[in-house]
Structures are given as structure tokens and as C-alpha cells.
Structure 1
Amino acid sequence: MAEEIIESDDFVRNAYIIINEMLDLSNHTTEDTTVLVDEILHSIFFLGTITNSAYTPKKILDVKFAEIKALYPKPFECYSSQLPRRSPFSCVLDMIVRLTGQENEKGIQTTLQRLIDDLRKGAKSDQKCLFSSAICISQAGQSSVKHYGVSMSTSTRDAREIMVAVSCCHEWDEYVAGAVMTYFPNKKKNKSKDRKTEIDGTIRLPENVKCRAFSLLDGKVKPPCRSCANLFSLKTSTIEKWPYGNCAESESLSNLFKNEAQVKNRVELQTPMSWTAEYKEGAKKTLLTFLKNSLKKVNFNQDMIVYTPTISGEKVNVHI
């Protein structure tokens, strides 16, 4: 790693390490994982430009800039004009699940923790920059398929809120998005146009669906926070309350619902009369207004087009 990268601030340092890890993992598999590398490059470059205009791809990649741009040109063309669907560590999670095996829960957690240990060593601050602090495993029954999710992996509050909003609109399953939109961005239930009726898209999970969350910093069990209890009817004794949409439960449950229709069909709305088509549209309109204003705040003045990673159809090997 170039000396100036080592001595740089945490965003550039962590971005470099994460990209290097993704390239290394992609190089050591026979699978075509270039779509995940393409996606994470765009996601990191986007977060760099809205966090600090000096965090350019050139600054992050240093001497490997030209080589990686030649192999993955699209992220370099679109990072300042299109929005990512999800934050970077979700791409890391997908890569590791694919290479480690869907049922190898311990191996997945160990690999993620090893990377996070590398990111935390020598960091200039305790801020969790570009990596997730928690993982959640959701499954419908003890012997069913495991579906994973990680907490938001951004660098600032503005970036986190932008990614929660985009995930609600374009990435998460409709039930998860609806639950989050009930409280986001106002931190309390949104109101209908007449300001008298609360909009409520929160859900109740089927009885056999279990969510287990763990810290990726120390491996300890993390009970659902109060926000996740409000969104998904998860039982908890904690009073801790993280921002709505931030927790790993959102992505994990979304992946479960998107992949297992029979489970999704048994999800129930907490108050069906408060989540009609009209109320749903009102919640989404509130969200989009918030997203537009948040993007202006970080000087992103483009149309809200969501990035689609390039699927190359052939394997690309590159070392950073």
C-alpha cells in the first residue's frame, strides 16, 4: 500500500482496504463476482464525493487508478451522477456469503470480523467508517435457509439517511421498506395529508421467523433495539434505540422476504387500515422529498437515477 494512503484519513484508508479485499476475494474464486466489485466501487466513490469532495477515486486508488478504471469503467463514469442502491459493506457481505457458503454462519462472521479488525487497527478515530458494526441472520425455522444482513456502512449521518431513503425506494422488500417509512425520516409515525391519521406500515412476523443479531466488533449477541421492535414486532428488553433503517435486521429480513415467497405471504401488517395505497403513496412522497433535500445538502444536484452495476460475463483479475 502506498505510504500516502497509509497516512491518509480513515475514509480513504478504509475505502482502500475494503476495495483491496473485494478484489482479492474476486481473484481467488472461479465464480464471476465482478458485478459485486463494480457495485462496491460505485458505492464507495459516491459516498466519498458526498462526504468530502477531495475523496475522489484517484485519491482512494492512487497508483492503481488507471488500471482499475480500465477494467471497471462504469463506476468512475457514474459515481457523481447516480445513486447506489445500498451501502458498501452489504456488497462485502454478499461476496463473503457467496464464497463461504450460505449455511456457514460461523465462517461468514469470522471473515467479516477479521476484515473489520484490519480496518480498526491504526484508525485515527473510533468512528465506524464504511464498515458495519452488526450482522443479523433471519430464518423461518431452525433448519431453514439463513438470510444475512448488515447494518448501514456509511461515514456520516447525512450519508446514512440518504442510503436508508434509497434502500426504502429501490432495494428493500416492500414490507421492510413500508415499516421503515412509517417512522423515517421523522423518528415518529408519519401523518396523512389531513395530519390527523398516523400512517402505519409496520409488520408482524410469522411466528417461526427468528432474527439473531451479533456485534461484528466483539461477537456478542445484540438484542433487537427498540426501533426494530417498533418496526418488526421483535421482542426485546433493551431501551437502546438506533435510527430507523440503520440496523442489520432490515437488510436481513428483506433478503428473507425476497427469497422466500411462502414466508412473505404470512407477514401481517400491524394496522392494515393505516397502510392503504393512499397512505403508502403519502409516506413515499414524504421520503422522496426528504431524499431530494438531503442530496442538495451534500451538493448532489443530479436526477435521482439509481446505479445498475455492469455484469461483465467474464472474470476480471486485478490486484490493488
Structure 2
Amino acid sequence: MLEMSKQTTQDTTVLVDEILHSIFFLGKINKPPISPERILGDRTDEVRALYPEPFKRCSSQLPRRSPFSCVLDMFVHLIGHKKEEDIKRALQVLISYLRKDTESKCLFSFTICISQAARDSVRYYGVSMSTSGREAGRIMVAASCCSAWDEYVAGAVMTYFPNKHKNMDIDGTIRLPENVRCEAFSLSDGRKMPPCRSCVTLFSLPMNNTGNTNINPNADIGKHAYGNCAEVESLSNLFKSNRRVKQRARPASESWTEMDKDKKKKDVLTHLRSLLNIVSFRWDTKFYSPQRARETN
């Protein structure tokens, strides 16, 4: 990330700042904890001079998303959103490199998703949650729901989070409009992946090319924890940029009012605090805001 940031024409130092804080936070709650100094080694002083805030805030503020999302954004900046295959290939090369060091905890994603409002329109990317450990994953889903993801996407996830069972009184699930692309691919071998049962439930994604969303209980299709799939981030990015598509996908249920949203968000925040207590993290209630690199002489 440090090297790629130097290659882009845009100022992408905020992505480096963000990934540092996200990794430092995950190191902080790891058992046993992994310090920033251990992560960076002999580059610690150099990086601290450029990016002081992640070092200061990793013990008190929460990241808004997991580390590999920052890596994805950097590749999109570097390669361009139109070059989908090049982006996938670059991520595969990076993951292959990371996996060689089997002793380290690699925070890479297994899946990428691309969403488009229509053919030849802007591509919006997302990756699956990149954390290590059950509590870390649940913490990041809760944090992303409350601070990063589009409100409709977050609402769909929160309908089932954290208990994995639908709240019968509140329904924020959505139906993606027809002809809107939302396709996931494996970052191991590049093959196209059908949406898991969770994504079908949250977004009414078609499970096959016929557009059929009826779930076959005998189908060879997994069910991932709600909020962990690449589709969530990809659709969130699409909705944030394309208001027309977002409005067409708005929750249809009458049980998703502003009051319902506020209540569910409070429930998720309560659960988030309980998870942070488990990992002994003292949260100041703030989500980290990435900074540009500090200029040094």
C-alpha cells in the first residue's frame, strides 16, 4: 500500500492511513495482541512520521471497514474501474504472495464482487470481510453497519444481525432491480460464484441465470454469516453513487421506518459494545476518520 500510493496520480494516502489503523486495531484485539511495532518492524519510525494518527487511535477508535477493502480501493485507483480482469488478477497475485508466509495471519479476502447499474456503466467493487477470529469479524460487520455501508444495505444486514434470525417486527431486506449487475468471483481461482443463501435473503439476488430466487434446500450453495460477503460492500458502493438505483431497491416492507432503523441501530451498537468488552477494548464511541499523510522534510 505504501509503494502503490506513490504510483497513483491521485492522493491515496488516506487509504494507507486507513489500512494502518484497521490492521493496528485488529492486532490490538488479537489474542495475544500484536503491536504496530511488531507489524511494521524496522519501518515503524518511518511510517509513524508519515501516519501518526493510526498509532494514536488504534487503542480507542474503531475502523469503519476491514483492511482488504482499502487494498481493493487502491488497486481501482491504480488500474481504473473499467479494467475488471486486471484488478482481479492483481488481487490474485497479491493474495498468492501473502499466502506463502504461512506463519503470519493474512487479512486477505476470498471473494470480490462487481456491481453495475447497467452494461458499460461504472463498476463498483467490493470484497468479503478480511479479519481473523470470530469476534473480530462480528465487530467489523457491526462497525460497518453503523458507519460505512449505505443505509439500505446496512438495514438489510441488520435485519438478521447479530442473531442470524430475522426480526419479525423489522424488515429492512431489499430487492435488487432487474438488469442491475451483482456478480461475485473467487480470488483463489477466478471462477464465478453464485450468491450464498444469506445474500439471496438480503438482496433477492438470482441464484442462477434464469433469475429464479426460490431457494432449493438441497442446492449446493453456502450460507455465510450476514454482512461478510463481497456483495454487501459492492452494492453499498453502487447505492452511494447511483441514487436512482438505490431508490428502486428501497425496502418494500412497511416495518422499516426511521424509528425502526434507529431502534435496530441501537441494538447493533449495544451488541458491538458487548463484543468489545469480550476483547477488552475501551472504545471512545468514535469511528476512525482517515487522514492524509503528514509532510516530512
TM-score of the superposed pair, with normalisation by structure 2: 0.92
Separation of aligned partners in 2, 1:306 and 1:75: 12
Residue aligned with 1:42, SS: helix
Equivalent position of 2:266 in the other structure: 285
1:311 aligns with 2:289: no
Q: Is the 8 A contact 1:46 1:79 kept in 2?
A: yes
Paired residues for 1:59-70 under 5 Å:
59-70=38-49
Q: Secondary structure of the residue that 1:212 maps to in structure 2? A: strand
Q: Cα distance, 1:311 vs. partner?
A: 2.4
Structure 1 residue 252 and structure 2 residue 234: aligned? yes
C-alpha contact (below 8 Å) 2:27/2:35 kept by paired residues: yes
Aligned to 1:88: 67
Structure-1 separation of matches of 2:136 and 2:35: 16
Determine if contact 1:46/1:83 at 8 Å carries over to the other structure: yes
What SS is found at the alignment partner of 1:214? strand
User: Are the equivalent residues in 2 in contact too, given 1:32–1:313 (CA < 8 A)?
Assistant: no
1:184 aligns with 2:166: no
Q: Residue 276 of structure 2 aligns with which residue?
A: 295
| Shift of residue 277, structure 1, vs aligned partner | 2.2
Runs ≥4 residues deviating over 4 A: none
SS in 1 for 2:163: coil
**Greater CA drift, 279-288 or 70-79:** 279-288
Aligned to 1:100: 79
Following superposition, the deviation at residue 266 of structure 1 comes to: 1.2
Partner SS, residue 192 of structure 2:
coil
Judge conservation of contact 1:152–1:248 (CA < 8 Å) in 2. yes
The aligned counterpart of 2:225 is 243
Mapped pair 1:24 → 2:6: no
Runs of at least 5 residues in structure 1 that lack an aligned partner in the other structure: 1-21, 191-196
CA contact (8 A) 2:66 2:129 kept: yes
- Tell me the matched-pair count: 286
Matching of residue 269 in structure 1 with residue 240 in structure 2: no
For the residue of structure 1 that corresponds to 2:248, the secondary structure is coil
- The whole-number CA distance in structure 2 between the counterparts of 1:138 and 1:297 is 36
2:210 maps to none
- Displacement of 1:238 in angstroms is 4.5
3-state SS of 2:177 partner? coil
- Equivalence for 1:48: 27
The SS at the match of 1:148 is strand
Tell me by how many angstroms 1:312 deviates: 4.2
Q: Please tell me whether the aligned partners of residues 224 and 238 of structure 1 are also in contact (alpha carbons under 8 angstroms).
A: no
Which shifted more, 36-45 or 49-58?
49-58
Distance 1:140 1:29, change over 3 A: closer
State the alpha-carbon separation in 2 of the partners of residues 48 and 124 from structure 1.
Answer: 15
Give the counterpart letter for 1:255 in structure 2: N
How far apart are residue 281 of structure 1 and its match? Answer: 2.0
Provide the C-alpha distance between the structure 1 equivalents of 2:243 and 2:131, rounded to a whole number of angstroms: 30
1:302 deviates by 2.3
Q: Is the 8 A contact 1:41 1:75 kept in 2?
A: yes
Q: AA paired with 1:182? A: T
For the residue of structure 2 that corresponds to 1:302, the secondary structure is coil
Tell me the CA shift for residue 235 of structure 1. 1.6
Runs of at least 5 residues in structure 2 that lack an aligned partner in the other structure: 208-218
Which residue number corresponds to residue 233 of structure 1? 204
Worse overlay, 26-35 or 108-117: 26-35
Q: Contact 2:111–2:184 at 8 Å: present in 1 too?
A: yes
Give, in angstroms, the shift of residue 30 of structure 1: 3.4
Cα deviations by residue, 1:52-104 (Å, 9 ceiling, x for unpaired):
35300111111111111011111111111110010000000000001100111
